Amino acid sequence: MAATIPASHADLLRREKKAFAALALVSSKGLPHVTPMWFDFDGEHVIFNTARGRVKDRILSKHPTVALVVTDPANPYRYIQIQGPVVFESEEGDYAQIADLNLKYHGNRDYPKRPGEVRITYKVRPEHVTTMG
Amino acid sequence: MAATIPASHADLLRREKKAFAALALVSSKGLPHVTPMWFDFDGEHVIFNTARGRVKDRILSKHPTVALVVTDPANPYRYIQIQGPVVFESEEGDYAQIADLNLKYHGNRDYPKRPGEVRITYKVRPEHVTTMG
């Protein structure tokens, strides 16, 4: 069951805000792991992109539930917390999705291709959403 | 074995920076949980404060390992990630430690006392430290 994003905090997920997410995962040893990440939101899913073989990819292949918090860059006391499962993972689209993120954060789609690197797109369905501020 | 905080990123932990931490925990169901938090650093431990009975307190009593990331408020691509166990938990000091945090973030020690609220101080020993930017 997907949770609704409250209108009061929906701006934090929009591209114009250029906010980062702190993405929390649980490692195979059961330990917490948290990283600042670029993200996108398609109105339904929170979307991430990483490279095949990185820590995040290795963790998510075994433990596909994430939590994230997006804080208003202009107000650290205003944020949205989202928890939910990864419901989609694909190598399709190749660099198109990371180029979308590059556009959001840097204003252009010129994300550098690295030889041999395979990009993966993850989509998270929000199941629990809380807001502050 | 405590990890060293690299000099290149030690400023992020200093009070003058007023940076927040994104604190990640693992719930009793094995799910990730992440919250923006005030924190302090005593040169050895990352220090948090919460109220007895809150989600963080309930989780930490069962699963006392945390991960956190502190991002430079002036540069989202510069951050330090710290993972480690809670090595100290105490109700002693009552409001003194949260007043210290209030001083760091608001410039005064006037943190409001709430009737019946018990504040807890947690100290985390950094075991794994990585930096970016």
Between 2.30.110.10, 3.40.50.1820, 2.40.50.1020, 2.160.10.10, what CATH number should domain A7-132 receive? 2.30.110.10
Chain B residues whose CB is inside 8 A of the A20 CB are 71, 76
What is the residue extent of each domain of chain A? Answer: 7-132
Nearest to B41 by CA among B61, B2, B11, B67: B11
Half-sphere exposure of B52 (CA within 13 A, CB side): 13
Integer Rg of chain A from CA? 14
Distance from CA of A34 to the nearest CA of B (A): 6
Distance from CA of A83 to the nearest CA of B (A): 8
Tell me if ipTM is over 0.90. yes
Place of tokens 């480690």: B84
With contact defined as beta carbons under 8 Å apart, do B118 and B112 qualify? no
Interface of B with A (CB under 8 A): 20, 22-26, 30-36, 63, 65-69, 71, 73, 76, 79, 81, 83
> How many CB pairs lie under 8 A apart between chains A and B?
80
pLDDT attached to residue B1? 73
- Judged by CB atoms closer than 8 Å, whether chains meet at B67 and A32 is answered as yes
Interface of A with B (CB under 8 A): 20, 22-26, 30-36, 63, 65-69, 71, 73, 76, 79, 81, 83
Distance from CA of B32 to the nearest CA of A (A): 5
- Distance between CA atoms of B94 and A95, rounded to whole angstroms? 52
pLDDT attached to residue B59? 85
Q: pLDDT tens, position by position, for chain B (133 residues)? A: 789 999 999 999 999 999 999 999 999 889 999 999 999 999 999 999 988 888 888 888 888 999 999 999 999 999 999 999 999 999 887 789 999 999 999 999 999 888 888 999 999 999 999 999 9
With contact defined as beta carbons under 8 Å apart, do A79 and B36 qualify? yes
Q: How far is CA A70 from CA A81, B99, B104, B111, in A?
A: 7, 26, 22, 25
Q: What is the DSSP string of chain A?
A: -PPPPPGGGGGGGSGGG---EEEEEE-TTS-EEEEEE--EE-SS-EEEEEETTSHHHHHHHH--EEEEEEEETTEEEEEEEEEEEEEEEE-TTTTHHHHHHHHHHHSS--PPP-TT--EEEEEE---EEEEE-
Whether the CA torsion A110, A14, A33, A83 is positive or negative: it is: negative
